[in-house]
Chain A
Amino acid sequence: MLARLVDLAVSAVLLAGLYATMAYGLGLIYGVLRVVNLAHGGVIMAGAYIGWVLFGWAHLDPYLSIPIVVVACFALGAVTYRLLVRHLPRGAAGGPASLLLLFGVWLVLRNAAYLLFTGDDQAIRTTYSTRSVALFGTYLSVNRLAVLGVAVVTPLVLHFVLRRTYLGRAIRAVGQNPDSCTLVGIDVGRIYTVTFGIGTALAGLAGLLAATIFSFNPSSGSSELLKSFVVVVLGGLGSFLGTGLAALILAVVEVFAILVLPSYLTAAVGFVMLVVVLVLRPGGLFGHRVLG
């Protein structure tokens, strides 16, 4: 039984890494712009395809292609903001208008992918795709360990940027009070563009990492968006540490639920938890912070 519990604990930690990676971008954009980025799922899918194209055509390892995917998705996010999102009235940015707009962006991305790549399922298979290492009497997937590493490093980097750089401080300030920022000379529009770009880049990164684990097609991204949403709400909107911990809690609950529930119900446990948290602690398990 102990071996089984260790197996489950390891599975949960590795799964948490994936969930956290998927959720950081959504949390960042909401934390600063108060926009629920419904295109998040589409960008995850796009990140997977960019990595797949680079792997197939240029034989570039997915982990080496991280900078290219991040830059490409940053550009996609920045352009999306400048061309579309910024035209929404600031007060209504988080409202139905932005939901509809970004859902439309997702549909465009999805159909563009259908046009370019057809509906076939694709996957990235490297020499280490099915490799694992033995640890604690169980096997750990090399790919999932790498994803966990990225999931740990990402908030550290973001934390450093947000705390120690002018850009980061400006992002936090804009997240707290954009009107006051305008008064002190911060270019709020530029900060929003950069933030939307970073959030989108993080979604693209998550897509690339997911593509090393799962197969994907143009319809991929919806379940990733839902999980991200659960993690971000559980963790408290705008809190990276909260996001990481919420991802861990969600993964632990889902994985250990198999001990008492049929497998097909374990995914629903997270959503039940979401409802309970929204009722009891609307600010999330770790409260509502702005990018800390």
Chain B
Amino acid sequence: MHRPVRHALQVRIAALAAAALAAALPGAAPAAEKAKIVIGATLPLTGAEARVGGFFKEGYDLAFEQANKSGGIQVGNKKLPVELILQDDTSTQATAVSLADRLVNSDHVDFLLGTYGSTLVEAQSTVGDQNRIPYVNGGGAATKIHKRKFKYLFGLLAPVELLGQTLMQWIDGEQKAGKLPKPSKIAVVWENTAHGKDFRTGISEYVKKSGGAYQIAVDESFELNGKDFGALLGKVKAAGVDLFLVDAHLPDYITMHRQYVQAGLCHKVVSYGARGSEKAAVEALGAENVEYVVSGVWWSPLLAEKSPLARDFVQAFKARYGGRDPEWFQALGYESARALFTAIQKAGKVDREAVREQLSHLSMPSLLPGGTLVLDAKHGFQAQNAFVVQQNMKDGTSPIIYPKDIATGQGVGANPRCAK
């Protein structure tokens, strides 16, 4: 081979290698060359979490539709449309991780939105840090997810510890109003998961600081999908507690509360954590049996009465989905996408590092309780918005009873059913 020809070949190979390297480097694609922003996500669209996965998809779809309706996201001096590449992770950890990896390394998405469920998010979020790509999720609340000091992981679900604390804050108000005994004896019963442990921590930390206003008389956990809570409820009954505070998923809520009612138990305050007002629970247990159950959730459509952003979201959601009210799942999906869009806009370029930097100190008006979404390093980039406490009333409604500034109704401190 002639020397000039060989030299030209070497130059071409070097140029190709440089191009390949440039393409592989994170955040390398300049905004000017981008025709659109591609965001990857997986959701559990089939499998055990299919129902909620579908709800999150509705939130994502609405956020992307709204962003593109106005021409896309303002990036620097031009608007770029956003495209969502969504895959079904089948509610399994391994699939969630491998699909996220594929989205990053085969589809070359610019950013990632998260899946739903603490266990899936915990596993999948490693892909974000490994590939240095911002990963924004609204589906993983367990505190331990954010205690790993990941730099590219951002979560909009407030920790479940706050759920326990917010419930206790409302209970404290009722105790100070003389509706609950002082000290109040508490049974804290929690599912043996990260979710349940966080709930228990929230309650017990509050009790420790209460100066003797509360005593934890029963502190028990249980395995998921329990078949019999008779012995556990017997322990609660024997302890003679005033407050029955449980953290349970829907199936255990239904099984445990059926046995609770059958055992003739009644407590001044009954809560199953985030569970309480779901249609499925009311149907399975009967409206009369879930009266005065207190629950805490990350978001409620009732916030539309107090927050313009929540009102706009509810209206847009109803218009797109046949008049149906959104639940917190859709709201968190929508808000996660919006948080990512806001960070991209603030960064002014489609650059992973620049967007990560914006997310790491993000503060934006939000439809979440409190009206502002803040992400900061102090809390492991996990939002700390208050929970919305609701209570099932005799008329079938479940108004927000706490925090007071967003309350749509007055809570009932001492369960009137116990007086019967």
Contact = CB atoms under 8 A, between A and B. Distances in A.
Contacts of B227: 15, 18, 214, 223, 227
B30 interface: no
Given A217-B251, A223-B225, A264-B221, A119 B232 contact: no
B220 A11 contact: no
Contacts of A267: 223, 226
B411 to A, nearest CB: 24
Interface stretch (A127-135, A153-161, A233-241, A284-292): A127-135
Nearest to B250: A121
B148 interface: no
Contacts of B285: 125, 129-130
A116 to B, nearest CB: 12
A255 B232 CA distance: 9
A132 B250 contact: no
Contact of B251 (A4, A121, A125, A263): A121
B221 A121 contact: no
B220 A132 contact: no
Contacts of B264: 132, 139
Majority secondary structure, B binding face: helix
Contacts of B251: 121, 214-217
Contacts of B289: 130
11 contacts: A119-B46, A121-B254, A123-B254, A123-B283, A213-B255, A223-B227, A258-B234, A263-B221, A263-B222, A263-B235, A267-B223
Contacts of B228: 11, 14-15, 18, 251, 254-255
A213 B285 CA distance: 11
Contact of A15 (B49, B230, B262): B230
B364 interface: no
Contacts of B261: 130
Contact of A119 (B48, B189, B226, B255): B48
Nearest to B45: A119
Contacts of A219: 47-48
Interface in A212-266: 213-220, 223, 227, 251, 254-258, 262-264, 266
B286 A125 contact: yes
Contact of B231 (A11, A138, A213): A11
Given A125-B284, A217-B251, A219-B48, A264 B230 contact: no
Given A129-B286, A132-B263, A11 B234 contact: yes
B255 A114 contact: no
A120 B49 CA distance: 8
Nearest to A141: B262
A8 B192 CA distance: 22
A182 interface: no
B144 interface: no
Contacts of B235: 258, 263
B286 A130 contact: yes
A267 B220 CA distance: 14
Contacts of A61: none
Interface of B: 46-51, 91, 189, 192, 220-223, 225-228, 230-232, 234-235, 237-238, 250-251, 254-255, 258-259, 261-264, 280, 283-286, 289
A139 B230 CA distance: 10
- Ranked nearest first, the 5 interchain pairs of A and B with the lowest CB-CB distance are A11-B230, A123-B284, A119-B50, A132-B262, A258-B231
Given A15-B228, A215-B284, A263-B232, A118 B50 contact: yes
A87 B349 CA distance: 63
A215 B238 contact: no
A122 B235 CA distance: 28
Contacts of A216: 251
B46 A214 contact: no
Contacts of B221: 262-264
A214 B254 contact: yes
A4 B263 CA distance: 13
Contact of A114 (B50, B225, B230, B263): B50
A139 B263 CA distance: 5
A81 to B, nearest CB: 29
A114 B88 CA distance: 14
Nearest to B255: A214
A132 B50 CA distance: 35
A139 B233 CA distance: 12
Contacts of B47: 114, 119, 219
Interface string A1-38: 00010011011001100100000000000000000000
A125 B210 CA distance: 40
A131 B263 CA distance: 9
Contacts of A132: 262-264
Given A121-B250, A125-B286, A139-B262, A14 B230 contact: yes
Contacts of A214: 227, 251, 254-255
A217 B254 contact: no
B231 A262 contact: no
Nearest to B258: A130
Contacts of B250: 121, 215
Contacts of B46: 114, 119
Contacts of B286: 125, 129-130
Given A141-B259, A255-B228, 16 more contacts: A114-B47, A121-B251, A125-B283, A130-B289, A138-B263, A141-B258, A213-B255, A215-B284, A251-B228, A255-B230, A263-B189, A263-B220, A263-B222, A263-B235, A264-B192, A264-B221
Contacts of A11: 228, 230-231, 234
A225 to B, nearest CB: 12
**Among the interface residues B48, B223, B262, B286, which one has the most CB atoms of the partner chain A within 10 A?**
B262
A216 B227 CA distance: 11
B232 A217 contact: no
A2 to B, nearest CB: 12
